[in-house]
Amino acid sequence: MPLDNAPDSKRKFNVVGTRPLRPDGIDKVTGRAKFGADASAPGQLVGRILRSPHAHAVIRKIDTSKAEKLAGVKAVITRDDFPDHTDGDAALYDTMYNIMAREKALYEGHAVAAVAATTASIARQALKLIKVDYEILPHVTDVDEAMKPNAPLLHKKMFTDGVDPKPKKPSNVARRFEFGHGDVEEGFKKADIIVERSFKTEATHQGYIEPHAALASMSPDGSADLWCCTQGHYMVRDVCARILGIDISRLRVTQSEIGGGFGGKTTVFIEPVALALSRKANRPVKVVMTRDEVFKATGPTSSTSMDIKIGVTKDGLITAADGTFRYQGGPFAGCSPAEFGAMSAFAQFHLDNVRAIGYDVVCNRPKTISYRAPGAPMANFAVESVIEELAHKLGMAPIDFRIKNAAREGTKSSYGPVYGPIGLGPTLEAAKNHPHFKAPLGPNQGRGMAAGFWFNFGGQSCVSLNIPTDGTITVSVGSPDIGGSRASMCMMVAEELGIGYEHVRAIIADTSSLGHNDVTDGSRTTFATGMACILAARDAIKKLCQRAAATWGIPEDAVTWEKGFAKPAGANAGNFAPLSLKEIAAASPGTGGPIAGHHEFSADGAGVSFATHICDVEIDPETGASKIVRYTVIQDAGKAVHPSYVEGQFQGGAVQGIGWALNEEYIYGKDGRLQNAGFLDYRIPVCSDLPMIDTQILEIPNPGHPYGVRGVGETSIVPPLAAIANAVAAATGVRFTQLPLSPPRVLKGIEDAKAKGKKAA
Amino acid sequence: MARVVIWGSLKPHTGGRSEVEIEARNVQELLARLGETYPGLQAQIKRGVSVSIDGLIYREGWLQPLAPDSEVFLLPRMQGG
């Protein structure tokens, strides 16, 4: 339910908006923090997974007999150890199929068996002794190739959903989505200029530094414990319990510190495998992925192919926008974010006629999973590239063209609903007035910009707040802290209670300690779990006031809470000296026992989010190498609880977008095998590649949160691809329609343009 | 009657209509009646939907009340990273 207490715009904050030290900082820089692979248990075994070397193959037979006989091997599992408990839930069945292949191996790296042994060496030996009889099938890894009628078929029973009439022949196209309003054909008739282009982007990985790790311990009585790094330990608990066929309450999951997730840890990969091995071996089993496994068997995002057509009048008004977005999602239906690409593509514009068609396509690649604003960055790259080109054809400054056509309060969004108060216009105006926008450019440099959108959502959160007898606070939340949320939770609790930040500690509780909490994704945690913290603090304040009232012998409603003290509400309530939080807490054993606050809910009202980015790039004309020389992020945060963390989210999204735009890509050989499964060959940006990313936080309060907070974690990855492509186009005079803008591609583009120019001359 | 707008590719399940009217007190009732009236929508509803009510997106919110003149947009279930 959305809160009815809209933000008080006149409220003066004491803690919120300041920049205290992060509570996890010292542990992380001294190596004391416990990440997934740091968990251990007495008698634990080493788990290892055998993976398919083939992109597409029928698994005729798996012979584990020799591996089982090897001394030190305590368990070997295959598909036979995962009977189908999914009860018709197709998404859950696919998740189970992904963690252990069944009839077919659907991509290189697909798990086909696993062992638990006393040492890593024995486990590796055992994997070599497992004989898998494969029937190799033709494969397809490119989204356009996969859509062709004669493409190798992944699933004989996949008939495209969302087309009329329903196809009679199976294909690799799982679903078709269509969004929009108006009449695009009529809109194009009114256009003076139309630009139509096709684009492609490659798959990129979330690139978190910490590989997946899980320690599982399952007892003969069926109860189990699991320690793992994840963005959502309640999700892990629920999914693992259902795959293994055990009661959810029998499984307790404890989340470790997390070395990055970015959406990639919003599902399970090794966790059910570790549990199944532990169940069979009757010993704790630890499974830690190698980097090679992370690249080959965990979710990257989609590679895409897109067509964009936009028409404008000669005075710069968009008359129609049309787009087709083809996203491959790995081997299972419903995994690509095609629908969110289509929904978000034109969301930053006020359009009378718009159509966006998305295709969810299966390929012989790893099952894709969310990556920050899933689906939006690629679509934004395509659309904002065409927007820039249109502005140049019109002879208009691109910023003015965007401002003229920007979505605003009352705009019917391209995905349907009408916008309430939104922050796009202010981010565009702030960009126009930013010193970066007017700074001179050097030789071989170009400037680009783009505006982007993301939905944000709330979801389920449960918080418990305990006040021990010294009046300090422990707040237990169930949302893994992947971006500094513990600091923000402490700050919001301190703000409500009127005490210092240093008196509040937030911990991430295990799944048996609190009610359900949704995954930390969708930019939801500071918004939703933070709101639950505020409401849990208000619940505690009510109880603190009750204790004070009972102590003074006055009615409860005659007591108010101000700056950490219970006070009589007025002169009529009586003349009592205020009682501090410390005093009430110290007296609590004798006034009714422990004092705690709780709140559990499903939060809505997250509010959509917009950002505008400006980028300067310098191109080496001899090598085609691009260097980002200046970058600015301007985004609406509603209210920045801890501005340093907000800036960090802005900067992190921009950096990941820079990697996506310039270097990162999954490269497949003709054999369907990934050629660059490691950070040496898959090049993510490092500090020396980057300038300081400048940020500007705008605060346009979100009416759905008591402090006005909006999620900020995802929108910042949406505009960089387009902003950089537009900057490269400005620097080189060449419009690139395929990412990444790697040196060979840029150099070829420059040379082709030169050759074309000579030919024309 | 709440006015429910569905996304384009669901139109084959509603006889080609992009807007339908449904009598419902809350989201739960609305989804149930949508599925009853247009059985072709049941697969998508089962897969997961979010709704926008008068401009505000609800990822779950089954008990969210609907006013007689509410405008409801059916949306794919929101995901994030």
Optimal mutation site among B56, B66, B72, interface A, most CBs of chain A within 10 A: B56
Token pair belonging to A655: 């950096």
The separation between CA A462 and the C-alpha centre of its own chain, rounded to angstroms, equals 21
Within 8 A by CB and 6+ apart from B21, the residues are B1, B2, B3, B4
C-alpha to C-alpha distances, A391 to A397, A449, A661, A700, A732, nearest whole angstrom: 6, 12, 22, 28, 17
CA distance A356 to A338: 10
Distance of alpha carbon A209 from alpha carbon A374, whole angstroms: 20
Which one of B28, B53, B57 makes the best mutation probe of the A interface by having the most chain A beta carbons within 10 Å?
B57
Instruction: Look at the alpha carbons of B51, B56, B57, B62 in this order and tell me if their dihedral is positive or negative.
Output: negative
Q: CA–CA separation, A311 vs A554, rounded Å?
A: 71
SS (H, E, C) A129-157: HCEEEEEECCCCCCHHHHHCCCCCCCCCC
**Tokens found for residue A261:** 């997730």
Backbone φ/ψ region at A124: left (φ over 0), alpha (ψ -120 to 50), beta: alpha
Angle at CA of residue A361, ends A303 and A203, nearest 5°: 10
C-alpha–C-alpha distance, residues A214 and A255, integer Å? 10
Per-residue model confidence (pLDDT) at position A57: 98
Q: How far apart are CA A416 and CA A424, in angstroms?
A: 17
CB contact under 8 A, A161 and B43: yes
Cα–Cα dist A286/A228, whole Å: 10
Residue closest to A397 by CA, chosen among A428, A351, A441, A443:
A428
- Residue in B5, B10, B80 closest to A524 by CB: B80
**Contact between A706 and A7 (Cβ < 8 Å):** yes
Q: What's phi and psi for A568, nearest 5 deg?
A: -60, 140
| C-beta separation of A280 from A390 below 8 A | no
Q: What is the pLDDT of residue A720?
A: 98
Q: What is the pLDDT of residues A477-527, one digit of tens each?
A: 999 999 899 999 999 999 999 999 999 999 999 999 999 999 999 999 999
- Partners of residue A337 on adjacent β-strands: none
The reply to whether residue A704 touches residue B8, judged by beta carbons under 8 angstroms, is no
d(CA A549, CA A559): 6
| Residue A605 at interface with chain B, using a CB cutoff of 8 Å | yes
Q: What is the dihedral of CA A490, A493, A498, A503, to 10 degrees?
A: -40
Rounded-to-10 torsion of CA A520, A526, A532, A533: 120
Q: For residue range B37-74, list pLDDT tens digits in order.
A: 999 999 889 888 999 998 888 888 889 999 988 889 99
pLDDT on residue A4: 52
Q: Which of A288, A277, A283 is nearest to A75 (CA)?
A: A277
The distance of B23 to chain A (nearest Cα, Å) reads 20
* Angle of CA points A60, A66, A67, to nearest 5°: 90
A355 forms beta bridges with: A180, A322
Angle, CA of A368, A370 and A376, to the nearest 5°:
105
Specify the pLDDT at position A1.
44
Contact A51, A57 (CB under 8 A): no
The full DSSP string for A495-541 is HHHT--GGGEEEEE--TTTSS----S-TT-IIIIIHHHHHHHHHHHH
The dihedrals phi and psi of A490, each to the nearest 5 degrees, come to -60, -40
CB contact under 8 Å between B81 and A262, yes or no, is: yes
Optimal mutation site among A604, A608, A609, A705, interface B, most CBs of chain B within 10 A: A604
Q: Please give the angle made by the CA atoms of A477, A480 and A486, to the nearest 5 degrees.
A: 60
- What distances in angstroms separate CA A71 from CA A47, A75, A127, one per listed residue? 15, 11, 13
Euclidean distance between CA atoms A641 and A525, whole angstroms: 12
Q: Which residues contact A245 (CB under 8 A, 6 or more apart)?
A: A83, A85
Where does chain B have alpha helices with state H?
Answer: 27-37, 42-47
- This complex has an ipTM of 0.94
CA distance B80 to chain A (A): 4
The residue ranges of DSSP E strands in A248-335, in sequence order, are: 251-255, 285-288, 304-312, 318-328
Question: What are the chain B neighbours of A340 within 8 Å (beta carbons)?
Answer: 76, 79
Nearest chain A residue to B62 by CA distance is A1
Q: Which neighbouring-strand residues pair with A476?
A: A464, A507
Give me the pLDDT at residue A715, please: 97
Q: Which residues of A498-507 are buried (b: 16+ CB within 10 A; e: fewer)?
A: bbebebbebe
What torsion do the CA atoms of A7, A12, A15, A19 make, to the nearest 10 degrees? Answer: 90
Query: What one-letter code names the amino acid at A189?
Result: K
Candidates A395, A401, A533; CA nearest to A476 is A533
Averages of pLDDT over runs of 10 residues in chain A (761 residues) are 61 96 93 97 98 98 98 98 96 98 98 98 98 98 97 97 92 96 98 98 98 96 96 98 97 97 97 98 98 97 98 98 98 97 98 98 98 98 98 97 97 94 94 97 98 95 98 98 95 98 98 97 95 98 98 96 96 92 98 98 92 98 97 97 97 98 98 98 95 96 93 96 98 98 97 85 60
Q: Give the closest of B12, B43, B59 to A604, CB-based.
A: B59
**Contact (CB<8Å) A417/B57:** yes
Distance CA A231, CA A293 (A): 19
**Residues 525-584 of chain A whose Cβ lies under 8 A from any Cβ of chain B:** none
- CB B7 to CB A416 under 8 A? yes
Backbone angles phi, psi at B53, to 5 degrees: -110, 115
- In the β-sheet with A609-619, what is the strand arrangement from edge to edge? A445-454, A609-619, A626-636, A693-698
Nearest chain B CA: its distance from A247 CA (Å): 23
Q: What is the 3-state secondary structure (H, E, C) of A88-128?
A: CCHHHHHHHHHHCCCCEECCCCCEEEEEEECCHHHHHHHHH
Provide the β-strand partners of residue B73. B5, B52
Mean pLDDT of chain A: 96
Q: Provide the 3-class DSSP secondary structure of residue A736.
A: coil
Contact (Cβ atoms closer than 8 angstroms) between residue B14 and residue B41: yes
Write the CA distances from A363 to A204, A266, A333, A668, integer angstroms.
15, 21, 10, 12
Amino acid type, A603: A
Q: Could you tell me if A265 lies within 8 Å of chain B, comparing CB atoms?
A: no
CB within 8 A of A152, min separation 6: which ones? A56, A137, A138, A139, A140, A364
CB contact under 8 A, A523 and B80: yes
CB A344 within 8 A of CB A327: no
| A521 to B81: CB separation less than 8 angstroms, yes or no | yes
- pLDDT the model gives residue A2: 46
Chain B closest CA to A666's CA: distance in Å?
20
| Contact indicator for A353, A429 with CB cutoff of 8 Å | no
Among A164, A340, A459, whose Cβ lies nearest the Cβ of B59?
Answer: A459
- The identity of residue A8, as a single letter, is D
